[in-house]
Amino acid sequence: MLFICATDDRYLSKLHSVAYRQWSNRVDLAYKLLLACALLWVLILGHRLVFYTNSNGYCAAQDGPYALFDTYLEAVLSGVFSPLLVIVLACLLIRSVQNVMQRRVVPTGVIPTEPKANQSHSQQANSQLLLMLLLQSLIAIIAYVPYGAAVIYFNITAQWSKSSVRQAWEL
């Protein structure tokens, strides 16, 4: 969640519109967003406080349709929504940074003493940002997608009759 907030902030700071840029780097907004994120997660997952039970020392969803709903919700939120959001935000930030790099104004008539120094520093920072975002997206896919796929698979095949070998293999 913090990565998403940081990416949003960097994206807003790199936009061409002054109206959007004024929303970046504001501490009061960061506190409000943290509170909003906490409230959002309570709204999305607060139903678990009511519909979960303690069975054999473990918290689990109550049997029935709610258990199916809860597991699919978990699979969609963690296995699909999280990596998709990270990838979309990374792509937006990369595009925004590249647009800023293209819009740079170079004074005419002035012969720079070191023309490549600022450009290579900017390109190096841009390539480091690109590498960081690609690695973050890759880690999000590796961490979240298999879990979501496994949850969906186990829910679909839960009512199927399986041999003991198949059951052992699925554990």
The 10s digit of each residue's pLDDT in 94-137 is 887 777 777 666 566 666 555 555 566 667 777 787 888 888 88
Q: Is residue 111 part of a domain?
A: no
Q: Is residue 37 part of a domain?
A: yes
Contact 30, 5 (CB under 8 A): yes
Provide the residue range defining the domain that includes 134. 2-102+123-159
Instruction: Name residues whose C-beta falls within 8 Å of residue 92's C-beta, 6 or more positions apart in sequence.
Output: 7, 11
Q: Residue 144 CB: number of other CB atoms within 10 A?
A: 20
Tell me: pLDDT of 33 over 70.
yes
User: Which residue type sits at 133?
Assistant: L
∠ CA 126-132-135 to the nearest 5 degrees?
A: 140
Q: Is residue 108 part of a domain?
A: no
The pLDDT score that the predictor gives to residue 39 is 92
* Number of domains making up the chain: 1
**Strand bridging mode 58-61 / 52-55:** antiparallel
